[in-house]
């Protein structure tokens, strides 16, 4: 099973992902992304990212080696297909934490993946805060809210939506979803039928 956690930028995907993986009892592996950006102090190649050159990354794209990718501020970020397939072939579940655009690329290639949308808490409160602050015109505030709502419209392309009101709670909800999803008939039936096939031999 391919598990994709995504959501609007700034919603806290990385923090929630780290909270999920801070616990040891996960039955899935995190797929390390590939990037062309500079390694930062303390980062480890193959753990935080696979750090490659622009040429290497573009070669991967050309050869169809990326499950999804995007460019931000002159750097590429993406998910190498190779590692994901290796893990899936080993029967492991793979966990991706990626941007909304990348998630839609994955949805096209792996429609049976499990897609979870992390969504910001309480837009009403955000709006009120912006109004109270008084630094933006109401027009500007409404445009901002419209943008937030547009991003949240993306939610319709996902299976589940979790509000990131509290990091540990959101992480726990995501783990509950992943557990439950193992018993979805569409995931459960193929193996079960194989067993039944053996019975009928």
> CA–CA separation, 181 vs 145, rounded Å?
33
CB 152, min distance to its own copies, A? 7
- Structural contact between residues 116 and 4, judged by C-beta atoms closer than 8 angstroms: yes
Residues 6+ apart with CB under 8 A from 174: 5, 16, 20, 116, 162
CB of 20 within 8 A of CB of 164? no
> Would the annotation count 175 as a binding residue?
no
User: In whole angstroms, how close is the CB of 96 to its own copies at the nearest point?
Assistant: 18
Token look-up 């934490």 returns 97
Token pair, residue 139, equals: 């027009």
* Interface with its own copies (CB under 8 A): 117, 119, 123-124, 127, 142, 145-146, 149, 152, 155-156, 158-162, 173, 176-177, 179-181, 183-185, 188-189, 192, 195-196, 198-200
Residue with Cβ nearer its own copies (2 or 141): 141
Residue 185 annotated in ligand binding: no
9 is in an annotated binding site: yes
Nearer to its own copies, 85 or 176 (CB): 176
Q: Which is nearer to its own copies, 108 or 198 (CB)?
A: 198
46 is in an annotated binding site: no
Those residues whose C-beta lies under 8 Å from the C-beta of residue 89, and which sit 6 or more positions away, are none
Terminal Cα distance for the chain, rounded? 29
Of the pair 84, 162, the CB lying nearest its own copies is at 162
Q: Is 14 annotated as ligand-binding? A: yes
Smallest separation (angstroms) from its own copies to the CB of 119: 8
- 97 CA to centre of own chain: 3
């Amino acid at each position: 099973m391919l598990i994709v956690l995504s959501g609007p930028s700034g919603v806290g995907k990385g923090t929630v992902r780290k909270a999920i993986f801070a616990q040891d009892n996960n039955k899935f592996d995190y797929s390390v992304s590939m990037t062309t950006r500079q390694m930062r102090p303390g980062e480890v190649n193959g753990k935080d990212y696979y750090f490659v050159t622009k040429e290497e990354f573009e070669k991967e794209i050309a050869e169809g080696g990326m499950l999804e990718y995007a460019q931000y501020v002159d750097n590429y970020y993406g998910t190498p297909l190779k590692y994901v397939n290796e893990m899936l072939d080993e029967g492991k579940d793979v966990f991706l934490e990626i941007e909304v655009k990348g998630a839609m690329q994955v949805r096209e290639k792996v429609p049976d993946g499990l897609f979870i949308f992390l969504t910001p808490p309480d837009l009403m409160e955000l709006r009120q805060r912006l109004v109270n602050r008084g630094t933006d015109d109401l027009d500007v505030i409404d445009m901002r809210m419209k943008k937030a709502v547009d991003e949240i419209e993306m939610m319709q392309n996902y299976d589940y939506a979790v509000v990131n009101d509290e990091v540990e709670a959101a992480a726990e909800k995501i783990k509950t979803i992943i557990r439950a999803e193992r018993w979805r008939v569409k995931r459960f039936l193929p193996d079960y039928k194989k067993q039944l096939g053996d019975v009928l031999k």
